[in-house]
Structure 1
Amino acid sequence: MKILFVASEAHPFIKTGGLGDVIGALPLSLKNLSNDVRVIIPNYKDIKEEIKSNLKYIDNFRVNVGWRNQYCGIFEYDYEGVKFYLIDNEYYFKRGGLYGYYDDGEKFAFFSRAVLEFLKHIQWTPDILHCNDWQTAMVPVLHKLEYIKEEKFRNIKTVLSIHNLFFKGMFSPQVLPELFGYDYEPFYNRSLEHNGAISFLKGGINYCDKVLTVSKTYAEEIKTPEYGEGLDGLLKHREYLLEGIVNGIDYKEYDPETDKYINFNYSFETIVNKELNKELLQKELNLTVNKDIPMIGLVSRLTHQKGCDLIIKVLDELLKEEVQVVILGTGDYIYEESFKSFKNKFKDKISVNIQFSNDLAHKIYAASDMFLMPSLFEPCGLGQLIALRYGSIPIVRETGGLKDTITPYNEYDESGNGFSFRNYSSEELLMISRYAINIFKDKNRWNKIIKSAMSSDNSWEKSAKEYMRVYNEI
């Protein structure tokens, strides 16, 4: 099958979060299933220099953005056997960062049309155009309203993946004539109208052939007012096209047996090396060096969405237990300062690292006994999947991908790969954390949970097979 991924970022070129990780890993796994998979992204100024210097020029043409006639260059780069195309335009992309500019609507209107125009310039037609989030959600709209009339585009099917529904691509209704050359019909018939504005994401949901999101539970949650961001009615109406597929993680990057960032590599058979990593990290972070004290890790953006308010409410009580807490991340000032304040009271029991450090993150996954992730909402979640791989037992709230990937421990049949609680409640978080600490004391029980965690399959290969099923269906 021929598949073209359309996205605003991709690892290892440039990324701001989980979307970049998905677009870096999923196409490679689909290629390994004997598909012709390609990716198209903008040629940003901040793309890694070693990639920039090896780009191969392919073609250039003009793209209409409303009344504007803009230059569009195409470069090509081979990444592990997957062809990446980069759309070049200095006016839109020769600036720092990716998002947050006053003309983001115009920039991604250009990008969306450039993707479809580009297909006219190569002797290759995809079966599937797989778009991602609001930045590319107008591709299905343009395809259905215009391009499908041409022979080359007639049999292409469009898929839209929602990685985070919070960002809807909201702009003035004037963008329809100004950027797309349309009249106001898509606004008045409400296919793009949302709260008096134009929503690129709503347009994509209405015009694509399949809507995907990054976990089965999140696909259900976004059909409710609590999680639907005002689009729950539409998603409920289109639920026959809506499905969730859990993300995977890169098993080469996150592998305790080969991880170059950790001091002692290990598998379940050599789990004693995990304790050696723990003792080294305790020493490095000035915590009490004792392998029998349970260590709880937190590697996260420090925001309300990630449950930081719940953690702050329970930390005082939790740190009265025989336990250590290691925090790594940056985020909202109020949470950064609140976490720092615990250091004075619990000197050798908590380590607060307000920074981004890939090196320290890997060490925390490898050293910690438990991993805290009590999110308010979590479309998929990456932290709990990495934690499972490293035998760091997740403590999560049952939402989105956390609910799909963490099976609560059952002390009667000793099944499960983590601990979970249902309501967004500090009392429930404290209770389940104490329960996990208590189970930790029984090494036989704890090792069974570690074995279950480390044998969980969260590879991209597993997810890729699900994507192939969806592509074949449409």
Structure 2
Amino acid sequence: MTIRVLHVASELYPLLKTGGLADVTAALPAALIELGADARVLLPGFAGVAQGLADLRPIARLERGFGAREATLELGRLPGNDLPVYMVRADAFYSRPGNPYLDDEHVPYGDNAQRFALLGWAAAQLAQHLDPAWAPHIVHAHDWHAGLAGAYLRAAARERGHAPARSVFTIHNLAYQGIFPARQFDELGLPGDFFDMHGVEFYGQLSFLKAGLFYADKITTVSPTYAREIQTVAQGGGLEALLKGRAHDLVGILNGVDYSVWSPAADEAIAARYSATRMSGKLRCKAALQQRFNLTQKHDAPVFAVVSRLSEQKGLDLLLAALPEIVARGGQLVVLGTGDASLEAGFTRAARQHPDAVAVELGFDETLAHEIVAGADVMMVPSRFEPCGLTQLYALAYGALPLVHRTGGLADTVTDASLENLADGTATGFVFERFEPDALTAAIRRAFALHARSRDWRETRARGMREDFGWAASAQRYMALYRELV
């Protein structure tokens, strides 16, 4: 039996990307198709999606618009791999310039509840043959934006006497919970008794994320360690009791890397291509990076790099405190990202004080991200918490040793360059235990110490580049989960 699975999300690379979610929704369906699944994606009709899909054609008019005057379902394909993509066209909701979630003042749109309720409802309608030619066995919803899909499926099951499809909900980051005022519940069209602590109600408000966790048949998250961490008070975000109660339905499946996009041997965005056995191109990428940011051209100065949202969650307040250590020891730091105003100001000030050693570019640029990972010696991912993290996986592939906090997926993917791990031949990066400035500073000092031992550095780098975090193994685990449900 061919399993038909519909992935429901708000982003898909390369059409629209604000974070790692878009990389996952692009790579996972493609990996599932290789394993014999019939996988499709459902997205809101944001401008980048409507413009980027090929061969868009109308499928059905949506009976409910949740306040949008007109809403239709269309089907197109993703150029490049022909992945079938459904799009909810509701221009009143989605045809807005700029950020898909926030207005010009960086405030969430006041109608976000309706905008993303429409997405979840459309997913449940597809499970009930809204497209006469195709209906999923599994509706796989990603993050809070798609959280109501499972609730609408449960409501349909109650009405029909059987479930139109089984559901999976994936937590990419539990910190984003899609919380709205209780008064908006009436606009969602769900049965009244769904507004309950055993339902979508969350401390007197409603939470799309909680709806996803409560109503899905199975819950996944993006690393085994994070699956354990979110069942604790420290990292459960108020949902730890629900997650603990559903522990038998919760599984951590590590995100993968799409090596067709992230491979230094084939990457057209970088100054020179290279591989674990032919590393000369790495030095040319480093020189090009130093030149691009007007840093001192020193091949023996280790380049530390950040490609990240600038936030305390990402541990960048710790890095700012530890930055003098990098400069004092003759290292360099390149930062690409945008986020908290105080962190933007802090890194910008450091770049002004040390223009030959610190460089900052505020914003996000996919090509530049590739150039930075290729040119860096050490990628900094000192996150306070990190569900999976993709940056450290890209870093391993490109021979930039990851320096990470032992949490979530970072703990699952990077092995510390301790003396015993170096002796055993298992080290791939630098890991610090306590989320404190002195622990990060000690890890930075260990990175300098290893960099000075060039043979050990080369061996550790090559070992990291040989690691395989491709999607094949993870996709097989998802397939096993789908089969169990179907």
Pick closer, same or farther for the CA change 1:38–1:357 going to 2, 3 Å.
Answer: closer
Say whether the 8 Å CA contact 2:153–2:164 is kept in structure 1. no
Pick closer, same or farther for the CA change 1:287–1:72 going to 2, 3 Å.
Answer: closer
AA partner of residue 74 (structure 1): L
AA partner of residue 335 (structure 1): L
Shift in Å, 1:144: 1.5
**What runs of 5+ residues in structure 1 fail to find an aligned partner?**
none
Tell me if 1:242 matches 2:257. Answer: no
Pick closer, same or farther for the CA change 1:363–1:188 going to 2, 3 Å.
Answer: closer
TM-score by length of 1: 0.94
Tell me if 1:329 matches 2:337. Answer: yes
- C-alpha distance after superposition, 1:39-76 (max 9, x if no partner): 11111234363437x412223241275xx796431211
Tell me if 1:77 matches 2:79. Answer: no
Show the counterpart of 2:414: 406
Show the counterpart of 2:140: 130
Shift in Å, 1:112: 1.9
The whole-number CA distance in structure 2 between the counterparts of 1:226 and 1:174 is 30
AA partner of residue 173 (structure 1): A
Pick closer, same or farther for the CA change 1:356–1:155 going to 2, 3 Å.
Answer: closer
Shift in Å, 1:231: 0.5
Tell me if 1:154 matches 2:163. Answer: yes
Tell me if 1:441 matches 2:452. Answer: yes
Worse-superposed segment, 399-408 or 353-362: 353-362
Show the counterpart of 2:469: 458
Pick closer, same or farther for the CA change 1:177–1:459 going to 2, 3 Å.
Answer: same
Shift in Å, 1:468: 1.1
The whole-number CA distance in structure 1 between the counterparts of 2:154 and 2:5 is 18
Shift in Å, 1:181: 5.0
The whole-number CA distance in structure 2 between the counterparts of 1:245 and 1:47 is 27
AA partner of residue 142 (structure 1): Y
Aligned length: 469
Tell me if 1:51 matches 2:53. Answer: yes
Say whether the 8 Å CA contact 1:31–1:82 is kept in structure 2. no
AA partner of residue 203 (structure 2): N
Tell me if 1:177 matches 2:206. Answer: no
AA partner of residue 402 (structure 2): P
Show the counterpart of 2:442: 431
- C-alpha distance after superposition, 1:129-187 (max 9, x if no partner): 10111122111112123236537x6362100011111122222333333321522x223
Partner of 1:55: helix, strand, or coil?
A: strand
The whole-number CA distance in structure 1 between the counterparts of 2:51 and 2:245 is 45
Partner of 1:247: helix, strand, or coil?
A: coil
Say whether the 8 Å CA contact 1:245–1:466 is kept in structure 2. yes
Pick closer, same or farther for the CA change 1:284–1:93 going to 2, 3 Å.
Answer: closer
Pick closer, same or farther for the CA change 1:207–1:323 going to 2, 3 Å.
Answer: same
Partner of 2:483: helix, strand, or coil?
A: helix
AA partner of residue 160 (structure 2): E
Show the counterpart of 2:368: 360
Q: Between the two proteins, what is the percent identity of the paired residues?
A: 35
AA partner of residue 282 (structure 1): Q
The whole-number CA distance in structure 2 between the counterparts of 1:266 and 1:140 is 45
Residues 343-358 of structure 1: pairs in structure 2 closer than 5 A: 343-358=351-366
Show the counterpart of 1:11: 13
Worse-superposed segment, 311-320 or 115-124: 115-124
Tell me if 1:295 matches 2:303. Answer: yes
AA partner of residue 177 (structure 2): K
AA partner of residue 297 (structure 1): A
Shift in Å, 1:241: 0.7
Shift in Å, 1:344: 4.1
TM-score by length of 2: 0.91
Shift in Å, 1:245: 1.0
Say whether the 8 Å CA contact 1:63–1:117 is kept in structure 2. no
- C-alpha distance after superposition, 1:368-405 (max 9, x if no partner): 11111101111111211111110000000011111111
Tell me if 1:201 matches 2:228. Answer: no
The whole-number CA distance in structure 1 between the counterparts of 2:351 and 2:176 is 35
The whole-number CA distance in structure 2 between the counterparts of 1:350 and 1:226 is 34
- C-alpha distance after superposition, 1:8-67 (max 9, x if no partner): 222233232222221111101101111111111111234363437x412223241275xx
Say whether the 8 Å CA contact 2:65–2:71 is kept in structure 1. no
Show the counterpart of 2:104: none
AA partner of residue 434 (structure 2): N
The whole-number CA distance in structure 1 between the counterparts of 2:116 and 2:469 is 32
AA partner of residue 82 (structure 1): L
Tell me if 1:373 matches 2:381. Answer: yes
The whole-number CA distance in structure 2 between the counterparts of 1:113 and 1:286 is 51
Worse-superposed segment, 339-348 or 272-281: 339-348
Say whether the 8 Å CA contact 1:176–1:182 is kept in structure 2. no
Show the counterpart of 1:164: 173
Decide which of 113, 116, 126 is 1:108's aligned counterpart.
Answer: 116
The whole-number CA distance in structure 1 between the counterparts of 2:20 and 2:291 is 32
The whole-number CA distance in structure 2 between the counterparts of 1:249 and 1:110 is 30
Say whether the 8 Å CA contact 2:156–2:164 is kept in structure 1. no
Partner of 2:73: helix, strand, or coil?
A: strand
Say whether the 8 Å CA contact 1:297–1:326 is kept in structure 2. yes
The whole-number CA distance in structure 2 between the counterparts of 1:436 and 1:188 is 51
Pick closer, same or farther for the CA change 1:283–1:6 going to 2, 3 Å.
Answer: closer
Show the counterpart of 2:105: none
CA RMSD for the aligned pairs? 2.0
Show the counterpart of 1:277: 285
